[in-house]
Structure 1
Amino acid sequence: MKRFIITAGQRAAPSSRSTGFLTTSRSFSTVDASLRDNVPVLPRMPFFDYSPPPYAGPSAAEILQKRRRYLNPAISHFFKNPLNLVDGKMQYLFDEDGRRYLDAFGGIATVCCGHCHPEVVEAIVTQTKRLQHSTVLYLNHTIADFGEALASKMPGDLKVVFFTNSGTEANELALLMARLYTQTHDIVSIRNGYHGNASATMSSTAQSSYKFNIVQTGVHHTLNPDQYRGVFGSDGKKYARDVDDVITYGTTGCVAGFIAEAIQGVGGIMELAPGYLPAVYSSIRSAGGLCIADEVQSGFGRTGSHFWGFEAHGVVPDIVTMAKGIGNGIPLGAVVTTPDIANALTNRCYFNTFGGNPVCTAGGLAVLKVLEKEKLQQNALTVGSYLKDRLVSLTEKHEIIGDVRGRGLMLGVELVTDRKLKTPAKVETLHLMEEMKGEFLFFTHLLTKTKSLAFYLIHICLLFSDMGVLIGKGGFFGNVFRITPPLCFTKEDADFLVDVMDYSMSRM
């Protein structure tokens, strides 16, 4: 058998745990023709000129053991054999053995500029060396500069910024603001929405998986304007009538506010039906309430067509919350509102120790600069549209795909076992995620087909040289692929993702 010719720069130096054929490169330019003809064609990952340094830390098994012993027992993990990711560069991640993965999940829609983007890293390191933390009781230009830059991205009179540490914290503050400003308690939210896991946000979240058995009062969950499974299809105005009914029959006629994501992230990349938000905003304001846009996942150009998800619906909220993409991985969140609403917090002392930390705000400001400099919103639109078209084309080939939806680089693929009944393909979703990641999934299958050691080894090499696609899952039934990669994603990456998905589905 001829030797494989390894393309330079495709493989990182192996760790001390790597052995033999498992360290084979991702790319092969020649394979013995007599064997190649019998090997299924696997997609080839795009070339990327970066190799991480060798990893000498603890193994995945050792980390998992510590995690089970010392960390939150409620934390789950993807995959039967959890990944130990030790390095990242732009849209790629690397495990302990130097294997490369295409990150199509982006740390749950968090990494927008790319992993370890040099300009973001430089801003963080420079500020850390100069001043890591003081307090907002003193002056520091980073928080003021970032606040100004963030306010410039907002429409209307949304010009006052409150910095937080997460999306949950931002939404908690927004709900508090609405209640203080209106002097009313009732909040309206949408079924299938997710807004956090603290007291008020857990109440406004309408998915049982994320709700503990504690007192949750003053929140009314209305019909989800789900264009795929909803009772009114894409007629947003019909769904909006349920909000009117809730206000009329479930409240005093006055509400504090309404909170919604323009595209439900945890809920399975479900974009609200057209016409829904304008109608609901009108009803809420007529009842004296404020409209809160949860942009934790859909903000910062991810949807491509607009910088904020709510802009696609032609509305201007009273309060906007954000996190995730705001810091490219830094623990940072924010609430932006009007001066009038912001004054509602001045009757008491509202303080946040780390909200506006110099390192975090320096990183956030760098993110805004990179988004503009590299035109990443436009890239999200261009590449996202291309990717969505390619995903839609798979529906003609694979019956398991029930729906493809979303905007820009916030896309969802819902899997079903029956298109007519829309039966959730929960088991199949997990299986495909494993296949797309790549694992020792072919061994038994191959040994039953051939006794040729050469054939067997080529399959192993190809398996470990390709696949390597990481996606998320969501939706109420856990049957939706969540595709939210870094915004530096390319058309070549999109092709590879779709080809891997196609290949994996073809093997089912």
Structure 2
Amino acid sequence: MIRRGLGLNALCGGRTLARNLSAVVMPPSNHSSKPYKGPDFEKVKKIKQDNLVPCLLTYYRKPLLIHEGKMQWLFDHEGKRYLDMFGGIVTVSVGHCHPKVNEAAISQMNQLWHTTNIYLHPKIHEYAEKLASKFPGDLKVFYFVNSGSEANDLALFMARAHTHNSEVVSLRNGYHGMSPYIMGITALSTWKYNVNTGGGIHHTMNPDVYRGPWGGSRCRDSPIQTTRECTCSPEACEASERYYEQLQDVFRYSLPSGHVGAFIAESIQGVGGTVQFPKGYLKKAYELVKSNGGVCIADEVQTGFGRTGEHFWGFEMHGVTPDIVTMAKGMGNGFPMAGVVTTPAIAQSLAAALHFNTFGGNPVASAVGKAVLEVIEEEGLQQNCEVVGTHLLKGLSQLRDEFGEVVGDVRGKGLMIGVELVADAQARTPIASSHFLDVWEDCKDMGVLLGRGGLHGNVLRIKPPMCITMADADFTIDVLRRAISNHLQKKRKNLS
């Protein structure tokens, strides 16, 4: 394995790296992929070019053709094995093709695929009852849909119908989906089109303690803090107060007489680059919203189902109880399913007219969702997220210390992790895209698949299946260390 302790500080003048970096060793797997029998690589590329919309971008300079998955592993058409540290965009929660989840789907498909909710069928009721046991308070009434965008779309509509207020506040840098109705509350310019996506939407300053004007080394609820200094105390986060004042200004100046329909926020921002809010911010924001007649929506599409480790839902780390919670992705371990949960009083707002989702809560989806919950419990995956995730975060923070001029920030909780790469540590200048791609591609070639996020596309997103092991975490750290070292060697060679 690669030895720790090598970083940019080993480079000075005309000197080269002081240590020879040995080959990284991938943890073993007892699964071998079946021979690939689909269209060849070039044919697949041609079909994509001719028959799929161009916005469906693929990762990497040389794209992967994946044809099989097993737990935390993916296999390409040539049989090469990869450690999936992105989980199908934070979607594969309990492992690719988990046997219990597969069996639940197959068994239900052999009995009843679909009937919709015009008839009673047992699976949706069994699932709703089990899922309700995971929520606090009056969050007991579910509406099942098919994707996170649909869930957030419905949550926003439900909030407006209940409060009779159309004004909605979301955070800059937040991502909530791509449906035309919900695209307006997504506040990342790279995900927005030049079309009207709805009125009554206001974006407040993102409380980012790494990139924002306030915050530092005492502000996050995380094993790893940013290296920025701050004057916050354990009892009071000054950065939280400053960002909260910005939210108050939105209420003062932008909302009609202070009234608001809804406030929506992720518990940890996902697509935006795994951004964590300062301690206490979300609690104060919720109080402000509720005091002005609004409801609070927690977007748990990426942070739910135990991924953050300490809690089953991300909002619990903030000490708040939302009025509406949206969920998707890990809910079905890759099966297309999503949902909204709310209180009986808010749910009643949809009874004013007919509202129906053809596939939401169908028998197969409900069987899959129930099996996912059972696997999380039986295999202790929430606890695994906390233990392995903390170990991984601490290892990545060592990389930040070793390669401080490239690794600007490490953040997250459980297995919801981001590593921000920079060109200038002091100015926090995002690393050039070509240099990011060098590191990213190198990790892929060594067998580790990582996500990419942040407004500037400079954050490595690490959100693997929740079944990964300590050995997988160490392998990821070693591969990333090697990739960064290779990048620095190349950079130094170009400068000499």
CA contact (8 A) 2:298 2:325 kept: yes
- Among 267, 273, 276, the alignment partner of 1:268 is 273
CA contact (8 A) 2:141 2:347 kept: yes
Q: Mean Cα displacement is larger for which, 102-111 or 54-63?
A: 54-63
TM-score, length of structure 1 as denominator length: 0.86
Q: Secondary structure at the match of 1:93?
A: strand
1:40 Cα offset (Å) = 4.8
1:136 Cα offset (Å) = 0.5
Q: Give the Cα–Cα distance (whole angstroms) in 2 for the partners of residues 500 and 304 of structure 1.
A: 24
Name the residue aligned to 2:453.
474
Instruction: State yes or no: 1:435 paired with 2:447.
Output: no
1:42 Cα offset (Å) = 1.2
Name the residue aligned to 1:125.
106
- Among 226, 246, 249, the alignment partner of 1:242 is 246
Q: Give the Cα–Cα distance (whole angstroms) in 2 for the partners of residues 177 and 57 of structure 1.
A: 44
- Counterpart mapping for 1:170-189 below 5 A: 170-189=151-170
CA contact (8 A) 1:402 1:414 kept: yes
Q: Secondary structure at the match of 2:401?
A: coil
1:251 Cα offset (Å) = 1.1
Name the residue aligned to 1:98.
79
CA contact (8 A) 1:60 1:83 kept: no
1:39 Cα offset (Å) = 8.2
- Among 288, 303, 308, the alignment partner of 1:303 is 308
CA contact (8 A) 1:429 1:481 kept: no
- Among 404, 409, 413, the alignment partner of 2:419 is 413
Name the residue aligned to 1:166.
147
Name the residue aligned to 1:493.
472
Name the residue aligned to 2:429.
423
- Counterpart mapping for 1:9-20 below 5 A: none
- Larger Rg belongs to: 1
Name the residue aligned to 1:402.
408
Q: Mean Cα displacement is larger for which, 326-335 or 225-234?
A: 225-234
Name the residue aligned to 1:504.
483
1:396 Cα offset (Å) = 2.0
Q: Which amino acid aligns with 2:475?
A: F
Q: Secondary structure at the match of 2:181?
A: helix
RMSD (Å), alpha carbons? 1.1
Q: Which amino acid aligns with 1:373?
A: E
- Counterpart mapping for 1:100-499 below 5 A: 100-215=81-196, 216-233=198-215, 234=219, 235-252=239-256, 253-398=258-403, 399-425=405-431, 426-438=433-445, 467-499=446-478
Q: Which amino acid aligns with 1:468?
A: G
Give ranges in structure 2 of 5+ residues lacking alignment. 1-18, 220-238, 488-496
Name the residue aligned to 2:234.
none
- 1:463-493 Cα distance to aligned partner (Å, 9 max, x none): xxxx110000100110000000000010000
Moved over 6 A (4+): none
Q: Secondary structure at the match of 2:427?
A: coil
- 1:290-348 Cα distance to aligned partner (Å, 9 max, x none): 00000000000000011011100000000000000000000000000000000000001
Q: Secondary structure at the match of 1:297?
A: coil
Q: Which amino acid aligns with 2:169?
A: V
Q: Secondary structure at the match of 2:247?
A: helix
Q: Give the Cα–Cα distance (whole angstroms) in 1 for the partners of residues 42 and 332 of structure 2.
A: 30
Instruction: State yes or no: 1:47 paired with 2:53.
Output: no
Q: Which amino acid aligns with 1:410?
A: M
1:213 Cα offset (Å) = 1.5
Q: Mean Cα displacement is larger for which, 483-492 or 211-220?
A: 211-220
Q: Which amino acid aligns with 1:417?
A: A
Q: Mean Cα displacement is larger for which, 296-305 or 233-242?
A: 233-242
CA contact (8 A) 2:409 2:420 kept: yes
Q: Give the Cα–Cα distance (whole angstroms) in 1 for the partners of residues 351 and 296 of structure 2.
A: 21
- 1:163-219 Cα distance to aligned partner (Å, 9 max, x none): 010000000000001100000100000000000111231010001111112223110
Q: Give the Cα–Cα distance (whole angstroms) in 2 for the partners of residues 81 and 65 of structure 1.
A: 14
- 1:400-434 Cα distance to aligned partner (Å, 9 max, x none): 00000000001000000110010101332211110
Q: How many residues align?
A: 443
Q: Which amino acid aligns with 2:423?
A: T
CA contact (8 A) 1:196 1:205 kept: yes
Q: Secondary structure at the match of 1:396?
A: helix
Q: Give the Cα–Cα distance (whole angstroms) in 2 for the partners of residues 110 and 492 of structure 1.
A: 22
Q: Secondary structure at the match of 1:200?
A: coil
Q: Secondary structure at the match of 2:420?
A: strand
Q: Note closer, same or farther for the CA distance 1:432–1:371 as it changes in structure 2 (3 Å cut).
A: same
CA contact (8 A) 1:59 1:84 kept: no
Q: Mean Cα displacement is larger for which, 391-400 or 218-227?
A: 391-400
CA contact (8 A) 2:21 2:482 kept: no
Name the residue aligned to 1:4.
none
Q: Which amino acid aligns with 2:296?
A: C
